[in-house]
Amino acid sequence: MSSSPQPTQVRIVEAAERLMRSLGLARTTTKEIARAAGCSEAALYKHFKNKEEIFVRVLEDRLPRIVPLLADLTDDPGGRVVRDCLTDIARHAVHFYESTTPIAASLFAEPALLQRHREALRALETGPDTLLTSLATYLRAERGAGRIAPGADPRAAAALLLGACFQRAFLRCFWDKEPPQPLDEFATALADTVLEGVAVRS
């Protein structure tokens, strides 16, 4: 028995991800996405305003779940220890950056297109700083709960963790090989390093 056809919106997102990975974001057009999804460009625009909105949907639906993970932690830090949360976040962040860096890097070769992309993301009220803001919000909640030091700087700690994750992902993509330190070991060591800077001290 054959499976039922996928909804147009799902086909568009899947096609966009494939094209963005193979061509880069700059060279992927809505016309190409529509063709790969088996629909007209007019049908594509019934579901999405522009290519940037499709890109955001790809980030939300098709890539590692760092965004919903941070949203869950921000809504309810819960009973998990901070070290475990930061380790989990670091692991997901590395996968997320490994997935997105090859897609977005091509934008920097075309300044005009990059500017249009910035403007479109601003209109959608999102952008690459979303993860930093979300992680800082989570750490601020932990500070309010007394689980990290009252004088800790949540945004600086978030930048330290995500910056290290991005660096690892960039080098992994650039050299096309796994770093010498296993990911789980890296994530745990990074969480410990961040916690050293924000720990509650007697």
**Ramachandran angles phi, psi of 113, nearest 5°:** -70, -40
- pLDDT tens for 185-196 read 999 999 999 999
Question: In the predicted model, is pLDDT for residue 4 greater than 90?
Answer: no
pLDDT band at 46, cuts 50/70/90? very high
Whether residue 148 has pLDDT greater than 50: yes
Q: Which residue has the higher pLDDT, 2 or 22?
A: 22
Q: Sorting pLDDT into bands at 50, 70 and 90, what band is 12?
A: very high
SS3 8: helix
**3-class DSSP state for residue 72?**
helix
Residue 156 has pLDDT above 90, yes or no: yes
In Å, what is the CA distance from 32 to each residue of 40, 59, 61? 10, 19, 20
User: What pLDDT is attached to residue 1?
Assistant: 42
Top mean-pLDDT range of 14-18, 70-74, 95-99, 155-159: 155-159
The predicted structure's pLDDT at residue 5: 64
Could you tell me where the DSSP H helices lie in the chain?
A: 8-23, 30-37, 41-47, 51-61, 66-75, 82-104, 111-123, 130-144, 154-175, 183-198
The CA distance from 59 to 20, in Å, is 11
Round to the nearest angstrom and report the end-to-end CA distance of the chain: 66
pLDDT category, 202, cuts 50, 70, 90? very low
Q: Is the separation of the CB atoms in 74 and 141 below 8 Å?
A: yes
